[in-house]
Amino acid sequence: MVNLGNDEIVKYPFLTEAGKYLNDKGFSLEQFGSDPDLKKIVDNAFERIITSSEGKIFKSDPSSNNSALPLEIFSFLIAVILLKLSGMNTLIRRFSLAEARRAEKFLEKDLMNHQDATKAKLSLQILQELFSVTVEKTDEEFTILISDYLKHSINFHEREWKLINRKVSKGKVHLTPHETVRLVRKELDRHIYAKINSSSTPQMIVGFETYVDKLKQLAKKFEVKTVESKEFPPCIKHAIEVLEKGENLPHSGRFMLATFLLNKGQTVEQIAPLFKNAPDYNPKVTIYQLNQLSGTSGTTEYKCPSCEKVKSQDLCFAVPACDTIINPLQFGRKRV
């Protein structure tokens, strides 16, 4: 595993074992609830969570870590404790993402560090060990194997991350330092989220109650209520029209239509008649295939393909209302 100095722990606090770190520094959790000198750290931790809930990145002050108390590291660790005590998943999610973006900035800076080779080396090592991405540095560019790139880039919905929109040659994708780090943001986020989730929740600590209550209140703000219209998205309408006309709908279109309706709660018996006009209609085969898709004959329940996939299969007939969705199932869903 990567060997971390204090400097690095400030940047990547999620790489430490929280309990062990506090113990090593001679602290117990209870002290943070009762010692007025440590209150500043708890305030800081609370602030760190609030900042992340607003979608912002907690401002770093690395100088504070030269003092006897590495405030930044402690504030991260205590923030994790507060989050665990609150049990509010929505806050943990926001916190993980904000921390991932914070670490991303440091990783990027370290990657480009021409003066200190060890810093650049360490950031490459983090990418390798945490995310199994082997990055090679060539001049100002970084290259990674296409197969490695794809494992990460498929998490993005923005078109710029599609392989077709990257510079590709001889099996490698060329990236800027910013893109290299951005590529692993989701995994970084997942790593931090998983780490927080897997850490044990302590008993309520005296002195933490008010913070935890406030976090519970805050989380309520993020509850989302949605309403859904009954209208089908244009891709589904088109597929139904094609079938109604007795024209041939490609396999991918049939898959999209069937999984969409199944995911919306329709039964195999309700859906099957839709296909009766297809030139190659066979009722037995249709029922068999619908049962496969619904998971009744197999173990997998198939999901409606994403808009990106639908688009790539030439089955998309987007209207402005499609601008904000990434799956046909979300069509007509509005927040209230």
Partner 1 sequence: MNAKDITFLEDTFKKFYFENFDLLHVPDDPNQREFGYQKFNGGMNRHISLKSDKELHLLLMQNKPSDVYCSNARYMFPNLSMAEKDWQNAELIFDIDAKDLRKEHPKDNTLIKCSDCNEISQLKESCPKCQSTKLSFITLTCNDCIKSSKDEVVKLNQILTDDLGVNEENIKIFFSGNEGFHIYVPKSEYENVGSKERGEISDYIMFRGSIPETFGFKKFNMNKSSLPKFEDAGWNGRLAKHLYGTKSNRSKISQEIISGGYTLFQKKLEDFRDSIGIKIDPNVTQDIHRIFRLPGSINSKSGLTKIFVEDLKKFDPYVDACFIDDDEIEVAANCPIEFSLKKKKFGPFKNEQVSVPKFAAVYMMCKGIASRV
Site residues, partner 1 (CB under 8 A): 145-147, 150-151, 153-154, 159-160, 162-172, 246, 251-252, 279-280, 298-300, 308-309, 311-313
Distances (CA, A) of 187 to 48, 100, 130, 166, 172: 21, 9, 9, 20, 21
**Cβ pair 233, 320 in contact under 8 A:** no
Minimum CB distance to partner 1, residue 321 (Å): 21
Minimum CB separation from partner 1 for residue 302, in Å? 12
> d(Cα 72, Cα 64) in Å, to the nearest integer?
7
Distance CA 288, CA 294 (A): 10
In this complex, which beta carbon is closest to partner 1, that of residue 50 or of residue 240?
240
Residue 33 or 305 having the CB closest to partner 1: 305
Give min distance, CB of 224 to partner 1, in A. Answer: 27
In the complex with partner 1, which residue's Cβ is closer, 26 or 171? 171
Query: Which is closer to partner 1, CB of 10 or CB of 315?
Result: 315
Q: How far apart are CA 43 and CA 211, in angstroms?
A: 9
Query: Rounded to the nearest 5°, which phi and psi values hold at 201?
Result: -90, 120
What crossing angle do the helices spanning 185-198 and 117-131 adopt, rounded to 10°? 70
CB of 228 to partner 1, least distance (A): 27
Closest separation in Å from C-beta 130 to partner 1: 19
- In terms of Cα–Cα distance, which of 194, 191, 192, 175 is closest to 183? 175
User: Closest CB to partner 1 among 66 and 165?
Assistant: 165
Q: In the structure encoding, which two tokens stand for residue 228, read together?
A: 């859904």
In angstroms, the CA 326 to CA 60 distance is 34
Cα distances from 179 to residues 92, 108, 152, in angstroms, run 25, 9, 12
Question: Residue 5 or residue 171: which is nearer to partner 1 going by CB?
Answer: 171
Closer to partner 1 by CB, 68 or 164: give it.
164
Task: Tell me how crowded residue 56 is: count the other CB atoms within 10 A of its CB.
Answer: 12
Q: State the nearest-atom distance from the C-beta of 163 to partner 1, in Å.
A: 4
CB of 253 to partner 1, least distance (A): 12
